[in-house]
Structure 1
Amino acid sequence: MTVRNQTEVREEFIERIGLISQNDGLPRIAGRVLGMFMFDGGVRSFGEITEKLQVSKASVSSATRILEDRSLIKRVGRPGQRQDYFQLVDNPFPEMLENIAAGLKKSKAEVDESFAQIDPENEGAIARVGHYVKFYETLIAMAETAAASLAQQK
């Protein structure tokens, strides 16, 4: 197996994480920032992030705020520096799963609301939608169990 140019591998990884994040409802730039931190590690200044990803300061500001709110990156201080610095949290994956579980819970609540309004005599709809409720219950339980498991692996 030949080793690929690591600059290309890095760029492809960052872009893939951006696309995956976009599919999950996050801004693509937030995913790219997360991908950069996962691939590169370390601490980056706000300016370095804008430079490395070649995106606007406003985009980086929004992206870092979202990632901080989701506890995936954290702001760190540097003595004598006025600029903000960020790094990936030690183990972001349990938090990612908790965010997924929270989204699933919101979706399940919507399904539950509809389920509660189905005429009890409509047995077919009760059965089908009831299976859909169980589907969400199962996904939520799996995400929460996986998050707890990953949290123990710190």
Structure 2
Amino acid sequence: MVLSEKQKELIERIGVFHEHKGMQPLVGRIIGLMLIHDNAEVTFDEIVDLLGVSKSAVSNALTFLQAKERVVYTTKPGDRKRYFKLKIHDWKENFTKDIVGIVEIQKFLAEVLEERKDKDSEFCAQMRDFSNFLEFFRHEIPSLFERFKKKYS
């Protein structure tokens, strides 16, 4: 596969997006490559060649993506290569896990608010507001999925 300039630019933008989320730029670029690749899967060597990066950097990024359960690989009979692809078939489960992880912050905020002596301060009021939103959001997640299912089924 040969990448067009538009595809390269899109991959780069996806990389920058993920970098702003705290990941290494190459992690996002690999995700971008998998998203735009005609086969929706890439070999290790394709990643190295198409993105022009070192093997060690690709190895580290793929290890990270696999540990985060964002990428899986398959093999093909008679072919020793690994074919990496995004683990998108269970996106609802992954998304829910991410949201629940974020919402877990609410439990810590509740404990912090219990321990603070300045319960009437502006800081505590802002924490309570954030905590209340997270609690509300946690309860709304199931209904969001139900509304999505009704709309797109």
Instruction: Verify same fold: TM over 0.5.
Output: yes
Partner of 1:69: 67
SS at match of 1:111: helix
Q: 1:50 aligns with which of 24, 48, 51?
A: 48
TM-score (norm 2): 0.74
By how many angstroms is 1:35 displaced? 0.7
By how many angstroms is 1:81 displaced? 2.5
Partner of 2:12: 15
User: Can you give the 5+ residue segments of structure 2 that lack an aligned partner in the other structure?
Assistant: none
Q: 1:137 aligns with which of 135, 140, 143?
A: 135
Q: Percent identity?
A: 23
CA distance in 2, matches of 1:87, 1:7: 20
User: Can you give the 5+ residue segments of structure 1 that lack an aligned partner in the other structure?
Assistant: 1-5
1:17–1:76: structure 2 CA closer, same or farther, 3 Å change rule?
A: same
Cα root mean square deviation, aligned: 3.0
What is the count of residue pairs matched by the alignment? 146
Partner of 1:116: 114
CA distance in 2, matches of 1:92, 1:15: 25
Q: Which moved more, 1:94-103 or 1:131-140?
A: 94-103
CA distance in 2, matches of 1:135, 1:123: 19
1:135–1:41: structure 2 CA closer, same or farther, 3 Å change rule?
A: farther
CA distance in 1, matches of 2:38, 2:140: 29
Higher RCO by CA contacts (8 Å cutoff, separation 6 or greater): 1
Partner of 1:81: 79
Deviations 1:27-76 (A, max 9, x none): 11111101111111422111111111111112111222222233332110
Letter of the structure 2 residue corresponding to residue 10 of structure 1: Q
Partner of 2:35: 38
Q: 1:27 aligns with which of 24, 27, 35?
A: 24
Letter of the structure 2 residue corresponding to residue 117 of structure 1: E
1:133–1:29: structure 2 CA closer, same or farther, 3 Å change rule?
A: same
Given that 1:98 and 1:147 are in contact with CA atoms closer than 8 Å, whether structure 2 keeps it comes out as no
CA distance in 1, matches of 2:50, 2:85: 15
